[in-house]
Amino acid sequence: MVTPFLPDGGVDYDGAARLATHLVDERRHDGLVVNGTTGESPTTGDAEKERLLRAVIEAVGDRAVVIAGAGTNHTEHTLNLARQAEAAGAQGLLVVTPYYNKPPQEGLLRHFTAVADATGLPSMLYDIPGRTGVPIHSETLVRLAEHPRIIAVKDAKGDLFAASQVMAETDLVWYSGDDVLNLPWLSVGAAGFVSVVGHVVGTELHEMIDAYRAGEQARALEIHRRLLPVVAAIMTRTQGAIAVKAALNLLGLPGGGPLRAPLVEAPPEFAARLREDLTIGGVKVPEVTIPEVPR
C-alpha cells in the first residue's frame, strides 16, 4: 500500500486509513502490506512507520491481515522494526533481503533467522535481487523453511523453475511479487499476489485467483490479458509508487498526493497515457471536468 502524504510533506494518517478501507472493502484485498517499498519506506522514519501501521490496523485490522514491512540492510534496525510492528498489532512481517551491502548466503541465513526469532510473528521473505543486489538461493530458502515462523516468500526474482523446486521440497507459501507474472505464478503453485496494480484492479486480481482455483483457466487467462495495459502502465514505465499515486489521483482516491524526494510526481504526459491504459484495461476513470471560461 502506498503511503499518502500531505502537501507539507507529513504523513496523511487519515488518508491512509481511508485508502486501506477502500482497498479492503471495495477492492477485495485480503490483506495489506504497510511500510513496503511502494509505501516509500526508505523515506519514512521509525515513528512514522509505527503510527501509520496503527492507523491501518485500526481501520481494517478486524477484517484484513495487516503485514508490516520491516526489512532493512541493518539487522539490528530490522529487529527493532519487527518488535515495534508486533507491539503495534501487525499480524506478520515482510522482510526484504538486506540491500546494497551484498551479504553472502550465510549472512542472509543469520539475518532472516534473527528476525524470525525476535518476535512471535510469521515472516514473509522478500526476494528481489534486482533491487537488493543479492538473491536468496534455493538452498538458503530450504534451510530457512525449517524455522517455524518463516512461512512465505514474496518472489520478485521470477525464476519459476527454482521456486517450483523449493515449493516441492518445503511448506513455504509463495506469492507473486511481480504483477507481470501473476498468472504464471499461480500455475506453479503460488497462493496469491503481493500486488502494486491491486490498488486499482484488486477485485479483478481476486477474480483471477478465484477462477484459477475453480479450474476455470480460460477465465483466468481472459482476466490476465484484459489487465495487460494496466500492468504495463503501472509496472513498466516508471517507479511503482509514482505510477500508483498518479492512478489514484486520476480515480479520485486517497493516496494520490505528493511523494517524498528523491521520488517525484508523474509528469502530465505520463498521466494522460495512464488514463488511456486504465480505460483500455476496464478501469472506470472519471471524466475530467473543464471549467467554463467566463465570456
- Read off the pTM: 0.94
For the chain, give every domain's residue range. 13-216
Q: % helix / strand / coil in the chain, to the nearest 5?
A: 50, 10, 40
Q: Both ends of the chain: CA-CA distance in Å?
A: 45
- Per-residue pLDDT tens digits for 258-288: 999 999 999 999 999 999 999 999 999 998 6
Looking only at the bridges linking them, the beta strands covering 65-69 and 31-34 are: parallel
CATH class, domain 13-216, is alpha beta
* pLDDT for the residue numbered 288: 65
- Per-residue pLDDT tens digits for 103-130: 999 999 999 999 999 999 999 999 999 9
What's the rounded Cα separation, in Å, for the pair 194 and 62?
20
Q: Which residues are catalytic?
A: 126, 154
Using a 10 angstrom Cβ sphere, with 0-12 exposed, 13-18 middle and 19 or more buried, the burial of residue 95 is buried
* pLDDT for the residue numbered 147: 98
